[in-house]
Copies of this chain bind each other. A is one copy, B any other.
Amino acid sequence: MKDSKPLHEKKNTAILLIHCPDKQGILATVTEFLNENHGNIIYLDQYVDRVQKIFYMRVEWELADFAIPTAKIGEYFNTLIAARLNMDWKLYFSTDIPRMAVFVSTMSHCLFDILSRYTAQEWEVEIPLIISNHEDMRPVAERFGIDYFCFPVDSHNKAAQEAAELALLAEYRINFIVLARYMQILSEDFVSHYPNRIINIHHSFLPAFAGAKPYHAAYERGVKLIGATSHYVTGNLDAGPIITQDVTRCSHIDTVNSLIRKGRDLEKIVLSNAVFSHIQRKVLVYRNKTVVFN
* A161 contacts chain B at the CB level, 8 A cutoff: no
Contact of A269 among B41, B47, B51, B265 (CB under 8 A): B265
Interface residues on A, range: 35 or more
* A108 contacts chain B at the CB level, 8 A cutoff: yes
* A24 contacts chain B at the CB level, 8 A cutoff: yes
* A87 contacts chain B at the CB level, 8 A cutoff: no
Q: A27-B31, A207-B209, A265-B269 are in contact. Are A223 and B242 (CB under 8 A)?
A: yes
Which of chain B's residues has its CB closest to A273's CB?
B265
> Nearest Cβ in chain B — how far from A83, in angstroms?
20
Which of chain B's residues has its CB closest to A241's CB?
B222
Residues of B within 8 A of A205 (CB): 205, 208, 225, 227, 247
Residues of B within 8 A of A209 (CB): 207
Q: Which residues of A250-272 are within 8 A (CB) of B?
A: 251-253, 255, 257, 260-261, 264-265, 269, 272
Residues of B within 8 A of A27 (CB): 27-28, 31, 41, 44
* A80 contacts chain B at the CB level, 8 A cutoff: no
Contact of A208 among B44, B206, B249, B257 (CB under 8 A): B206
Stretch from A89-97, A165-173, A182-190, A285-293 contacting the other chain: A285-293
Contact, CB under 8 Å: A24 / B32: no
Residues of B within 8 A of A106 (CB): 4
Interface of A is mostly: mixed
Contact of A24 among B7, B40, B272, B288 (CB under 8 A): B40
Q: Mark A47-59, 1 if CB is under 8 A from B, else 0.
A: 1011100001000
CA separation between A51 and B107, bound complex, in Å? 25
> Nearest Cβ in chain B — how far from A48, in angstroms?
8
Contact of A112 among B50, B119, B264, B269 (CB under 8 A): B119
Q: A31-B25, A108-B116, A265-B269 are in contact. Are A44 and B46 (CB under 8 A)?
A: yes
Stretch from A71-79, A136-144, A150-158 contacting the other chain: A136-144
Q: A35-B24, A292-B252 are in contact. Are A112 and B116 (CB under 8 A)?
A: yes
Other A-B contacts than A7-B261, A205-B225, A252-B289, 11 sampled, CB-CB below 8 A, are A24-B40, A25-B32, A28-B32, A32-B32, A205-B227, A206-B208, A222-B241, A223-B242, A224-B243, A247-B247, A252-B291
A interface residues (Cβ-Cβ under 8 A, vs B): 3-4, 7, 24-25, 27-28, 31-32, 35, 40-42, 44, 46-47, 49-51, 56, 106-109, 112-113, 116-117, 119-120, 122, 136-137, 139-140, 143-144, 205-209, 221-225, 227, 241-247, 249, 251-253, 255, 257, 260-261, 264-265, 269, 272, 288-292, 294
Those 6 A-B pairs whose CB atoms lie nearest each other, nearest first: A222-B289, A112-B116, A208-B208, A28-B31, A252-B291, A224-B245
